[in-house]
Chain A
Amino acid sequence: MKCEVSRESMPAVPWLAAGVLLALPAWAHEQSGQAAGFVTGMLHPVSGLDHVLAMVAVGLWGAQLGAPAIWLLPVTFPLVMAFGGFLGLLGVPLPGVEVGIAVSAILLGAMVATQSRPPLWLAAALVGFFAVFHGHAHGTELPAGESGLLYSIGFVIVTGLLHATGIAIGLVHRWRKGRIALRGAGAVVGAAGVFFLWRALA
């Protein structure tokens, strides 16, 4: 086997060599559990299908509604969700959290499926109301010994990325068949919400 180094890759060699030769020994930074907190926070939102579907549905609905809802809803959700998490951290009880999460999937799915266009304030209030349940349930589940701050950063970033995923998928709304597909996706989210509700009440 012949190993070839292309002319284009040659300029990278001195930098690579410098990087290797100037590498410092590993330095101590005594903050155990920091990275683990970040990773746990990032993984937590995607570990529950109920949370994932509701987050994506927020993005889908935002894309369907267009500006300014397309960015206002994803701005509202993390803020109010964090407030829910804040309440959970202070030990303020919130009854029917699992039911609230399931109903959020049903309603958000129904909004997308029926292409509902309520006033902007009402859409934001609806999204904000259910965000409290999601924050209360998911924002506080930090394993012992991990960084709460980094958990929060990971949690908020991935929640925002799930909204962005919903918005990206929702861009198919500009095509006729895409609008039909989007409504179908809303129906699927709503149906999943019914299943989550049944499971929460069982």
Chain B
Amino acid sequence: MAGAGLRRRARAASACAWLLLASTGASAHLPDTGLGPLADGALHLFLSFDDLLAVVAMAVLASQHDEATAQRAAGALPAAWLAGGLAGFAAGKAYLPASATSLSLIALGVLVAAGRRLPRALVTALAVAAGLAHGLFNGAALATARHDGMALAGIVGAALVVTTLIVAPGLRLQATGARIAMRVAGSWIAAIGLLSLGWTLSGRL
């Protein structure tokens, strides 16, 4: 019995080690719009699909709940994104495995696909965790590539706009078809996250 428990723990430890070892350096790919770092950062979100999908998934998850929960999550996501981004920018490192963004897509996508009502605190915590994780990567990438920190404000602003644009009408969508469409979208996002995790762990992303 003790041997089996030890083997289970060893397997769990090696899985954790694998996820951590699979982490890679943050890579910046800020587009040059010619309109300054704020616009560069805003556009960055729309070209970084791992970030954009996380924002979409979190916004859809929020709009599957009541108005107060959705509003709190819609505010928490960009706020945490900014906090994470500043921390990552200051540290120059994300301190997270590269697989963290894929894991956030899987978790948020599965929750959207499940379509269950979650406690308000949990939805807020998910928004904070997702915002912090993605913000950390963005901030670290900006610092590594020596980009202007204002780009972070552009990213956060774009995240706020996208979240609001989804949450505001999403809360009004009560038709069964619309709710089903949200859940189908969640399953797609989770599937993309799972494949993305596979690419990351195989070192091919």
Number of contacting residues on B, CB 8 A?
A: 30
Q: Which one of B78-86, B127-135, B192-200 is at the A interface?
A: B192-200
Task: Decide: A148 near B187, CB < 8 A? Known: A27-B31, A86-B197.
Answer: no
Q: Bound state CA distance, A74 and B188, in angstroms?
A: 10
A82 touches B34 (CB 8 A): no
Q: Bound state CA distance, A157 and B194, in angstroms?
A: 14
Q: From residue B195, how far is it (CB to closest CB) to chain A in Å?
A: 4
Residues of A within 8 A of B198 (CB): 85-90, 139-140
B184 touches A148 (CB 8 A): no
B29 touches A75 (CB 8 A): no
Q: Which one of A2-10, A28-36, A45-53, A182-190 is at the B interface?
A: A28-36
B195 touches A155 (CB 8 A): yes
B201 within 8 Å of A by Cβ?
yes
Of B33, B190, B196, the contact of A148 (CB 8 Å cutoff) = B196
Q: Bound state CA distance, A156 and B194, in angstroms?
A: 11
A156 touches B192 (CB 8 A): yes
A29 touches B192 (CB 8 A): no
Residues of B within 8 A of A85 (CB): 194-195, 198
Residues of B within 8 A of A82 (CB): 190-192, 194-195
User: What are 13 A-B pairs with beta-carbon distances under 8 A?
Assistant: A24-B34, A28-B32, A31-B29, A71-B183, A74-B187, A82-B195, A86-B194, A90-B201, A139-B195, A148-B195, A148-B205, A149-B196, A152-B199
